[in-house]
C-alpha cells in the first residue's frame, strides 16, 4: 500500500455529485415538475459509483501487490459494512418482522442472514455488498486471466436482470432463485459486477474517449432514455449514459482548480 495513488479530481467530484443524486432519488424534491430528472438522471449515480470503484480497484492493484491490495480493499469495505449493519440491525429486524409477521422467528432469522450476505441490511447497503462480491470475483477473474469471459457472463446476467425488471421470467428457475436468494435484481450479479468490470477494464486497457465523442454518445443515449421514460428497459440506456459520463469526467483535468488535498477530502465525503 506504499505506492502513492494518482488523484483524479474530476472523478472525486463526480462521486460527490452522485452521492447527492442518491439523496435526491429517495426524496420528492423533483416531483412533479422534475420527475424525469429523478428517474433518468439520478439513477446514474449507482453505475458511476460502481465504475469508479472498479477503476480505482484496478489502479490500486496495478501499483501494488494484487493479492494484498485486493485483500486490503475487501477488508476496508467489510469493516464499513459490518459497522453500519450493526447500527441498523434493530431497524432491519423490525422491517422483517412487519413484512413477514406470519413467519416463524427462525424463518425471520433466515431472512436477516440473507440480507447480510446478499442484499444489505434492510436493502440499504446493497451497494457495499456488491463491492465485496465484486472485489473477490474480479480479483479471481484477473488472477486466472479470464476477465473477458467474466465480462461476457456479466453482460448476460445484466440482460437477465433487465428482463426480470420488465416482469418477465420471475416464474422461471432463474427468476425464482433471484427472488429467493437476493429478493430483487439489485444484487452483485445482475448489476454490480458489470459496472465494476467496466471501470476496471477502462483502467486496465487505458481506454480514452475524446470528450466530444462522449458528449455526443451521452446526448443520443439521453434522447433514447427520454423516449423509454418509465419503461424498465431504460436501465440499458442509463448504463450507456453512465459509461460515457464516466469517460467524459476522466478526461476533464481539474488539477489547476482543485488541489489534491481538497480532492481527497471530497472523496471521503462521498464514501
Q: Verify cis geometry, omega within 30 degrees of 0, for the bond prior to 114.
A: no
Asked if residues 54 and 138 have their Cβ atoms less than 8 Å apart, the reply is yes
pLDDT mean across residues, the chain: 83
Q: Which residue has the higher pLDDT, 230 or 211?
A: 211
- Cα 15 to Cα 133: distance, rounded to the nearest angstrom: 21
Question: H helices of the chain, where?
Answer: 9-25, 35-36, 45-63, 66-87, 89-99, 105-114, 126-143, 147-165, 173-181, 193-204, 211-227, 234-251, 260-269
Q: Verify cis geometry, omega within 30 degrees of 0, for the bond prior to 32.
A: yes
Least trusted range by pLDDT, from 28-42, 48-62, 154-168, 174-188? 28-42
How is 11-77 classified by DSSP, letter by letter? HHHHHHHHHHHHHHHTSSTTTTTTHHIIIIIGGGHHHHHHHHHHHHHHHHHHHS-HHHHHHHHHHHH
Range ranked top by mean pLDDT from 53-57, 114-118, 139-143, 253-257: 139-143
Mind listing the pLDDT tens digit for each residue in 168-182?
777 777 778 887 777
pLDDT of residue 5: 65
Work out the widest C-alpha separation in the chain, in whole angstroms: 60
Asked if residues 111 and 96 have their Cβ atoms less than 8 Å apart, the reply is yes
Q: Is the pLDDT of residue 147 over 80?
A: yes
Terminal-residue alpha carbon distance, the chain: 19
pLDDT of residue 146: 95
Q: Which residue has the higher pLDDT, 18 or 158?
A: 158
% of the chain at pLDDT higher than 90: 30
Q: What's the pLDDT band for 33 if we cut at 50, 70, 90?
A: low
The three grid cell numbers given for residue 131, joined into one nine-digit string? 463491492
pTM above 0.85, yes or no: yes
Q: Is the pLDDT of residue 51 over 60?
A: yes
- In this structure, the number of other CB atoms found within 10 A of the CB of residue 223 comes to 11
Q: What's the pLDDT band for 188 if we cut at 50, 70, 90?
A: confident
pLDDT of residue 3: 58
Least trusted range by pLDDT, from 112-116, 159-163, 209-213? 112-116
pLDDT of residue 17: 83
Q: What's the pLDDT band for 233 if we cut at 50, 70, 90?
A: low
pLDDT of residue 230: 64
The three grid cell numbers given for residue 174, joined into one nine-digit string? 432463474
Q: Work out the average pLDDT over 120-129.
A: 75
- In this structure, the number of other CB atoms found within 10 A of the CB of residue 109 comes to 13
Mind listing the pLDDT tens digit for each residue in 92-110?
777 777 766 777 767 777 7
145: left (phi over 0), alpha (psi -120 to 50) or beta: left
Count of positions (residues) in the chain = 271
Amino acid at each position: 500500500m506504499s505506492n502513492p495513488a494518482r488523484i483524479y479530481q474530476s472523478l472525486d467530484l463526480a462521486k460527490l455529485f452522485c452521492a447527492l443524486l442518491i439523496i435526491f432519488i429517495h426524496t420528492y424534491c423533483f416531483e412533479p415538475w422534475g420527475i424525469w430528472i429523478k428517474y433518468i438522471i439520478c439513477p446514474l449515480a449507482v453505475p458511476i459509483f460502481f465504475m469508479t470503484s472498479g477503476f480505482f480497484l484496478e489502479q490500486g492493484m496495478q501499483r501494488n501487490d494484487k493479492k494484498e491490495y485486493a485483500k486490503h480493499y475487501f477488508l476496508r469495505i467489510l469493516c464499513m459494512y459490518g459497522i453500519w449493519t450493526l447500527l441498523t440491525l434493530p431497524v432491519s429486524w423490525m422491517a422483517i418482522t412487519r413484512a413477514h409477521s406470519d413467519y416463524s422467528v427462525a424463518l425471520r432469522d433466515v431472512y436477516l442472514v440473507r440480507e447480510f450476505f446478499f442484499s444489505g441490511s434492510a436493502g440499504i447497503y446493497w451497494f457495499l455488498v456488491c463491492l465485496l462480491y465484486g472485489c473477490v470475483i474480479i480479483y479471481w477473474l484477473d488472477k486466472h486471466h479470464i476477465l473477458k469471459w467474466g465480462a461476457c457472463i456479466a453482460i448476460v446476467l445484466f440482460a437477465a436482470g433487465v428482463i426480470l425488471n420488465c416482469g418477465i421470467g420471475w416464474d422461471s428457475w432463474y427468476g425464482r432463485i433471484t427472488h429467493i436468494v437476493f429478493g430483487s435484481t439489485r444484487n452483485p450479479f445482475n448489476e454490480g459486477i458489470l459496472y465494476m468490470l467496466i471501470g476496471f477494464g477502462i483502467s486496465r486497457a487505458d481506454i480514452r474517449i475524446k470528450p466530444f465523442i462522449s458528449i455526443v454518445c451521452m446526448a443520443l443515449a439521453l434522447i433514447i432514455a427520454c423516449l423509454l421514460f418509465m419503461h424498465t428497459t431504460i436501465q440499458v440506456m442509463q448504463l450507456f449514459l453512465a459509461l460515457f459520463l464516466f469517460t467524459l469526467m476522466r478526461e476533464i483535468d481539474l488539477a489547476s482548480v482543485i488541489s489534491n488535498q481538497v480532492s481527497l477530502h471530497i472523496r471521503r465525503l462521498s464514501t
